[in-house]
Structure 1
């Protein structure tokens, strides 16, 4: 993984902690949350305050996320809002933390000038020891305070100030006045400079979780479902009507269709569809070259396409399906009938402009794993796991490509691949003639309930 780290493709944009003041504050917060401290004098943290170096030191990379359910966090600076989230267990966690920091940035800036802010993303459940518990998660609430309890004291001081104003004998209550003075020394004047954070609760309807091999939960849709990258039988009975795994390609395709979640890349507006598909074809060639033991060191795009021409008969069906799609787009060729059974099917799609777009692109990346660019952008956890099993030449090619083609313009690459024009009126869900059949077996066919 050193190749990825050196190129900024792994552990990039982390916040360095090296000053004695920040080290002392971090240790105080770490002790407050976990009862542990670090002996390191220089380390890096992500948006939640997790440090891979401290994880190595403690031999516990979940030291701020015990059980992978209610993630704790340590904020030393509001600059953490731009850092990534490592060891993700729920796909929504980074967005929740970033939104929390942005919504409370002035208050957090003032608080972190004097102390660390420690807190927790509190799920509706405290354990996901069983798959069914995932569906009990409905919301996430943020609880936070400084290690010295500044917010708690400020709230208490506010209550005391109200008593002082409202009680007839407030001016003569020496105990009340003494308590107010004592708290004000720690919090400042809360009447002129209120110290408080917004109470924030987030709905958790649609998400991916790393638990149980990786599960996508879609509940905020007209046709909800859970989709696992493992074996659906391992999940047991879940309180959701439909459960699919990656072997259920037809049902997943119909799930996308019924909820209007995807569109063919070649029919998407405002993008260079042919260029996107040709790049996917190159990635498929690279994958085939790895399997054939071809050395890709220093290979250019021209080299990759020469390999494709010379060995076209040996390339997998994903390549040929995308080639037919490009021929239709560029040369007015015959429309290729690529069904969901075809290995190229999920490579031809991207998410439509819905609230679930990021989650859908994440799922598509895992369903089409040879597209290493989309896999890296949308699902880094799976990318890093796949990377470890590649040959050295493929690792080198992929790292060089991502550094050259993606890191140079992240926003532009994302916009070109996944961006959308102004939202159009969404088409209605198509109706089937036999509604009673749908009621009996569901819109995706007869699957285990």
Structure 2
């Protein structure tokens, strides 16, 4: 994994905490949330304030995410909104944190100038011990305050001011006036400089979760479904379909029936044929790497020559994409890539629906030889698979992603998915 870290493909774009002031603020927030502190004086954090270095130090990489629900967070600067979310339990968590920061950026910028923000993504359950409890999570509310309680004090002062104006004899209530003055010493003049955060309520009905071995939950579609990355749950669940990701035909039917995916290449001569060619390259590279053949930095033509030289048998995924390309480029008959064909999911991308990112994440898991989509849409799965790849495959993936993706992320995402942040 060190190769990925060095190339900025793992733990990249994190916020650096290196000054004594920032470390002190982080420790105050960490102690406020968890009762623990760090002895490190230099570390990096993601959008939620989680630090891999502190996770190592505490021997607890879930120190802000115990149980995988009600994730806690620490904000030291609004620049964290550009950071990834590591060790995510729910695919929606980063989006929620990003929207919260965007909605309150001016206030957060002022508050984090002198203090840290400590908060939590609160939902309606405190722990999830059964799959059924996932369906109890209907909304997530972001609750946050500074470690000194600036927001709470400001809200209290606002209520006192409202009471002062409403009560007839408030001018003669010395206790009320004294409490207002004492509270104002902590908050400043909230009438001129309001201190308030918009705690937006976020619906979380469709999402991926790492819990229970990995689950994709689709509730905001015509025919709801749950797709399990492991064995299919045996209990009755409040969705129309329950299936395993290994049951590719059932998953394909689910995506088709809900209009969640569409062919990448719809008509002859489309520019999108370049995407299929790239997927072919990845499949070929994967097969060659399994034979311990050095493919680092190889071009498309070189990969094909290596396959011919070594007598490599091309897999059905490659042949299926080749048939689609012959139709799209040379006028051959349109192939029938059936739902259970190994190449089927390689020919698809998500349609433009609210579940677009979730569908592309699922497609990435179903097409693991497509290293680019896997890395963009499902980094946890990419890292898990990367650890078991042969050295030749790891070298190829790291070099390709550094050369072709890191240098122009936005263009790569737009070409593949029509835009969006990816994960």
TM-score, normalised to structure 2, is: 0.96
1:120 aligns with 2:120: yes
- Cα deviations across residues 17-67 of structure 1 (Å, max 9, x unaligned)? 011111111100000000000000000000000000000000000000000
Aligned to 1:191: 191
Partner in structure 2 of residue 351 of structure 1: 350
Indicate conservation of the 8 Å contact 1:285/1:307, yes or no.
Answer: no
Q: Which residue of 1 aligns with 2:52?
A: 52
CA distance in 2, matches of 1:218, 1:35: 37
SS at match of 1:197: coil
Q: What's the counterpart of residue 365 of structure 2?
A: 366
1:263 alignment partner, SS class: strand
Query: Equivalents in 2 of 1:125, 1:50: separation in Å?
Result: 22
Displacement of 1:299 in angstroms is: 2.5
Give the Cα separation in 1 of the matches to 2:246 and 2:138.
28
- Between stretches 408-417 and 167-176, larger displacement belongs to 167-176
Q: What is the DSSP-based 3-state SS (H/G/I as helix, E as strand, rest coil) of the residue aligned with 1:16?
A: strand
The offset of 1:237, in angstroms, is: 2.9
**Number of equivalences:** 420
1:236-290 Cα offsets, whole Å, 9 max, x none, are 3322231011232222111111111111111179962221111111111111112
The equivalent of 1:84 in structure 2 is: 84
Q: Superposition pairs for residues 215-364 of structure 1, below 5 Å?
A: 215-233=215-233, 236-267=235-266, 272-310=271-309, 314-364=313-363
Q: Which runs of 4+ in 1 moved over 4 A?
A: 268-271, 309-313
Deviation at 1:293, TM superposition (A): 2.0
Q: Which runs of 5+ in 1 are unaligned?
A: 421-449
Q: 1:116 to 1:407 in 2, by over 3 A?
A: same
Which piece of structure 1 moves more, 336-345 or 168-177? 168-177
TM-score (structure 1 length as normaliser): 0.91
Distance 2:300 2:7 in 1: 20
The separation in 2 between residues aligned to 1:335 and 1:307, in whole angstroms, is: 29
SS class of match (1:38) = coil
Counterpart of 1:3? 3
Distance in 2, Cα, partners of 1:61 & 1:19? 23
Q: Do 2:100 and 2:199's aligned partners in 1 also have CA atoms closer than 8 Å?
A: no
Residue 320 of structure 1, CA deviation: 0.5
| Higher mean C-alpha displacement, 159-168 vs 216-225 | 159-168
Match of 2:27 in 1: 27
Q: Structure 2 regions of 5+ residues with no counterpart?
A: none
What RMSD in Å do the two structures reach over aligned CA positions?
A: 1.7
1:276-325 deviation digits (Å, cap 9, x = unpaired):
11111111111111222212234333321323444676111111011111
Q: Which residue of 2 aligns with 1:131?
A: 131
CA–CA distance in structure 2, aligned partners of residues 291 and 46 of structure 1: 34
Q: 1:271 to 1:213 in 2, by over 3 A?
A: farther
